[in-house]
Structure 1
Amino acid sequence: MPFEFADTFVRLVGPSPLIQALAGGIVIAMMNLFGAALILVWRNPSERALDGMLGFAAGVMLAAAFTSLIIPGIEEYSGGNPLPTLIGVAIGALFLDRADTLVPHAHYLLTGERRRDAAASEEGLPVSEERLAGVILFILAITLHNMPEGLAVGVGFGAAGGDPAQIGGALSLMLAIGLQNIPEGLAVSVAAINAGLDRRIYAVIAGIRAGVVEIPLAVLGAFAVARVEPLLPYAMGFAAGAMLFVISDEIIPETHRNDYERVATLGLMAGVIIMLYLDIALAG
């Protein structure tokens, strides 16, 4: 079954790693759009639910960073030498750390005070410039954090080289990042609505925002590793390090701000379990 799924993907998309990466980037961007569009039907998700979903996203990314990037980078693409991949991990984390100094840390704006402000805006009161500035910073931060996700998908497909027998890891990574994009897209939409923006307009903007950064970076990742093969373990480590930085610096602290740590932890464990299952099922 795993090979049949991979073979079907190759038949539909073609054997080119670049086209496969393009398709993967589109998939994860569309799942981000789906998450953002949930605000149209789930108009007021609770902080408890959002913390659980973001915990799930963190668990998926945590497992994917190791099973689909770090371990293959060491075992398969650098002959068992851990240094290239681990150097990439360090550079990826450092890159996100420095980038965060350019885009200041912004929370998801899900506190009770923000929700009261949002309710006031729905009653026709003007949107606060402070709240609007906060959500713009948050959107920029999330866009920055989408970059390693798109890059990771592209690197995965570039490493597989279009071979159906090797593409399972790339597919599991694509599905994992797509799954975690759903709660992330919803969280960003909630932040935008809490700042007083229109939910219908922002649901579309969120998908465009994700696609603008994730799709080209997926193609770039595949192109880079296909043209310069020695970069592969470094690129895999870089994507993993950036993802791990986002998990530790942004997602987990955010899910522990509203006294729902247990829900977030259970969500994280569920994400890890599902990602491990996907990795074994598709790469096995």
Structure 2
Amino acid sequence: MYARLVVDDAKLLGAVRWGFVAAVATSVGTLPVVLSIKFSQRANDAMLGFGAGVMLAASSFSLILPALTIAGEQVAGPWHAGGIVSAGILFGAFGLLLLDRVMPHEHFVKGVEGASTQKLKRVWLFVFAICLHNFPEGLSIGVGFGGPDDVGARVLAIGISAQDIPEGLVIALALTSVGYGRLLAVGVAVLSGLIEPIAAIIGVVVVGLSEAMLPWGLAAAAGAMLFVISHEIIPESHRQGHESAATQGLIIGFVLMMLLDTALG
């Protein structure tokens, strides 16, 4: 009810719909685990790199550039607009950094990070890590649909959904590789995707509070995604010694998302 007071129903519906599309994409990625199809670690790291490239392009072309354009239309002068977007990026990145420091979670390779974790089961540490990872993606979808460019929002959502497919696979494979059962691993990966429609609702509602919030929201979502790329995805994709494959995947993902944004946006 409150969402209807601050955001157009069509925008809210679009954010929810595409948030669930991203969640379904994460589920689709787990099918090889369900079917017991094996992938090499090199292939896993290349897919992680691909996801990082898609997110990097989405941050640049679907979030930061529109934020600069909208901020430029709202305020006088490029320095003011650039300052707003810069502040938004820093807010999103350092906000997620704070959550990363406070919330106990476990990286697939690096291990435990955050506050005391002695009383938490390892599976929930993985869940926390996945939620930290997926939240900015869903937030970006919601913020995108909160803006005036519905086509650009769909392009952004398509790109995020595309990178969620290998992400779902990597999550499930990582969980099985450390001893979790196949059904539990797939279940955790599937449930982790549900954070995205929830975050999408938050994003579209916050932006709906005021038009002035739109460039801030776009920039903050971009900052959060940049943090995830640098702090989570790239390090994980490089730790097994497959930097070249991961880098190639990143470049391919970046180029494909850039082409998608240019062709459809």
Bin for the TM-score computed over the shorter chain: 0.7 to 0.9
Determine which of 253, 256, 264 is the counterpart of 1:274. Answer: 256
Alpha-carbon offset, residue 199 of structure 1: 1.2
* 1:174 lines up with 2:157 in the alignment: yes
Q: Do the aligned residues in 1 keep the contact of 2:173 with 2:185 (CA within 8 Å)?
A: no
Aligned residue for 2:212, secondary structure, equals helix
Aligned pairs for 1:100-179 (under 5 A) are 100-104=100-104, 106-109=106-109, 133-160=121-148, 166-179=149-162
* One-letter amino acid matched to 1:249: H
Tell me the alpha carbon deviations over residues 100-155 of structure 1, each in whole angstroms, 9 at most, x when there is no partner: 112346332499xxxxxxxxxxxxxxxxxx9x944432321121121111010011
Q: Do the aligned residues in 1 keep the contact of 2:84 with 2:215 (CA within 8 Å)?
A: yes
Structure 2 unmatched runs, 5+: 1-7, 112-117
Structure 1 unmatched runs, 5+: 1-13, 112-129, 161-165
Tell me the alpha carbon deviations over residues 66-103 of structure 1, each in whole angstroms, 9 at most, x when there is no partner: 10001100113442511212111001110111111123
Determine which of 12, 33, 39 is the counterpart of 1:45. Answer: 39
TM-score (normalizing by structure 2): 0.86
Alpha-carbon offset, residue 15 of structure 1: 7.0
Partner of 2:69: 75
Partner of 2:90: 90
Partner of 2:4: none
Determine which of 191, 194, 201 is the counterpart of 2:174. Answer: 191
TM-score (normalizing by structure 1): 0.80
How many aligned residue pairs are there? 245
Q: Do the aligned residues in 1 keep the contact of 2:45 with 2:242 (CA within 8 Å)?
A: yes
**Aligned Cα root-mean-square deviation (Å):** 2.1
CA distance in 2, matches of 1:91, 1:174: 22
* One-letter amino acid matched to 2:66: P
CA distance in 2, matches of 1:49, 1:267: 9
Aligned residue for 2:247, secondary structure, equals helix
Q: Do the aligned residues in 2 keep the contact of 1:147 with 1:217 (CA within 8 Å)?
A: yes
Determine which of 54, 61, 67 is the counterpart of 1:60. Answer: 54
Aligned pairs for 1:227-266 (under 5 A) are 227-266=209-248
Determine which of 198, 203, 207 is the counterpart of 1:221. Answer: 203
Aligned residue for 2:107, secondary structure, equals coil
Identity %: 41
Q: Do the aligned residues in 2 keep the contact of 1:110 with 1:190 (CA within 8 Å)?
A: no
